[in-house]
């Protein structure tokens, strides 16, 4: 039986039609169950293209319930972005099947993938193979600390390009350039451009993006998908999701 690629195809179509796609990341630890229905509706009404769910830690319980509530309220794809094996849920549409290719920690390169594969099959959620690359971004980020890996130096585009190409040759569908949640500096446009021009697979960019203008610059540099998380949790501006979506949808 062939593995379904329905949501992957949907995302590619979005990037083609809209110039780029806008993903809102929900950290399950940052929201209570009773806040999720209205937040999810706000994201959908703000014209985001998909919801990512994930975080480096999972301190509070009710993960599965939170994914269920988000999925029920969402009119756009709900995609897991798991920081660990505990962040899998049958309620989601798909999962970014990440391999932390910038690091040399076998747990995040292949061990967790082996443990997760049968669970994903049983849950019938679509895996989207993604080369996950931590990029240097100032202070140590939660993802760097928790994965016990070093990020790619930001002044070494050649190293980043070679990693991204390796991901493509290994058959991965996306590259995720990750500055880290709440990063001091987001991935610079020059780095995105170097990678996006070098590989044929779409590039997702996230971490430390705080304004629609910063998002737009990264789309113009070649990002196919933009992710924001933190900034929406902190902002009082109820139009911010829409402003990000408009900045990202350059098509």
- Which parts of this chain interact with ligand 1GP (CB under 6 A)? 25, 178, 181-183, 206-209, 227-231
53 or 73: whose CB is closer to ligand 1GP?
53
- With vertex at residue 201, the alpha carbon angle to CA 117 and CA 247, rounded to the nearest 5 degrees, is 105
Q: How far is the CB of 102 from ligand 1GP (least distance, A)?
A: 13
Of 85, 97, 98, 12, nearest to 50 by C-alpha is 12
109 or 142: whose CB is closer to ligand 1GP?
142
113 or 228: whose CB is closer to ligand 1GP?
228
Q: How far is the CB of 35 from ligand 1GP (least distance, A)?
A: 17
5 or 150: whose CB is closer to ligand 1GP?
150
- With vertex at residue 123, the alpha carbon angle to CA 117 and CA 128, rounded to the nearest 5 degrees, is 55
93 or 178: whose CB is closer to ligand 1GP?
178
55 or 124: whose CB is closer to ligand 1GP?
55
Signed CA dihedral, 9, 10, 11, 14: sign only:
positive
Q: How far is the CB of 105 from ligand 1GP (least distance, A)?
A: 17
Give me the phi and psi of 177, to 5 degrees please.
-90, 115
5 or 210: whose CB is closer to ligand 1GP?
210
The residue number with the shortest CB distance to ligand 1GP is 206
Distance CA 174, CA 189 (A): 18
Q: How far is the CB of 25 from ligand 1GP (least distance, A)?
A: 5
Distance CA 157, CA 39 (A): 37
Q: List, in order, residues 6 or more apart from 60 with CB less than 8 Å away.
A: 28, 29
Find out whether 197 and 10 touch, Cβ atoms under 8 Å. no
Q: How far is the CB of 176 from ligand 1GP (least distance, A)?
A: 8
Q: How far is the CB of 1 from ligand 1GP (least distance, A)?
A: 32
Instruction: Give the position of tokens 């070649």.
Output: 222
Distance CA 229, CA 100 (A): 20
Q: How far is the CB of 181 from ligand 1GP (least distance, A)?
A: 4
Q: Determine how many CB atoms are found less than 10 A away from the CB of residue 139.
A: 10
Of 91, 28, 32, 34, nearest to 59 by C-alpha is 28
């Amino acid at each position: 039986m062939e593995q379904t690629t329905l949501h992957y195809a949907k995302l590619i179509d979005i990037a083609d039609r809209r110039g780029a796609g806008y993903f809102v990341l929900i950290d399950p630890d940052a929201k209570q169950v009773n806040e999720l229905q209205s937040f999810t509706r706000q994201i959908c009404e703000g014209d985001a293209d998909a919801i990512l769910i994930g975080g480096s830690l999972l301190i509070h319980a009710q993960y599965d319930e939170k994914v269920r509530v988000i999925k029920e309220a969402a009119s756009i794809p709900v995609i897991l972005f798991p920081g660990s094996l505990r962040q899998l849920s049958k309620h989601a549409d798909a999962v970014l099947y990440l391999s932390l290719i910038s690091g040399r920690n076998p747990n995040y390169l292949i061990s967790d993938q082996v443990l997760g594969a049968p669970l994903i099959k049983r849950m019938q959620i679509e895996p989207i193979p993604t080369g996950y690359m931590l990029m240097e971004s100032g202070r140590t980020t939660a993802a760097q600390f928790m994965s016990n890996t070093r990020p790619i130096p930001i002044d070494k585009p050649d190293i980043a390009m070679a990693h991204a190409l390796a991901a493509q040759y290994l058959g991965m569908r996306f590259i995720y350039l990750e500055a880290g949640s709440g990063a001091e500096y987001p991935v610079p446009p020059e780095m995105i451009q170097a990678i996006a021009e070098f590989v044929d697979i779409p590039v997702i960019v996230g971490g430390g993006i705080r304004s629609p203008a910063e998002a737009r610059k990264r789309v113009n540099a070649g990002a196919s998908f933009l992710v924001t998380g933190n900034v929406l949790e902190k902002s009082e501006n109820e139009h911010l999701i829409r402003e990000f979506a408009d900045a990202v949808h350059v098509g």
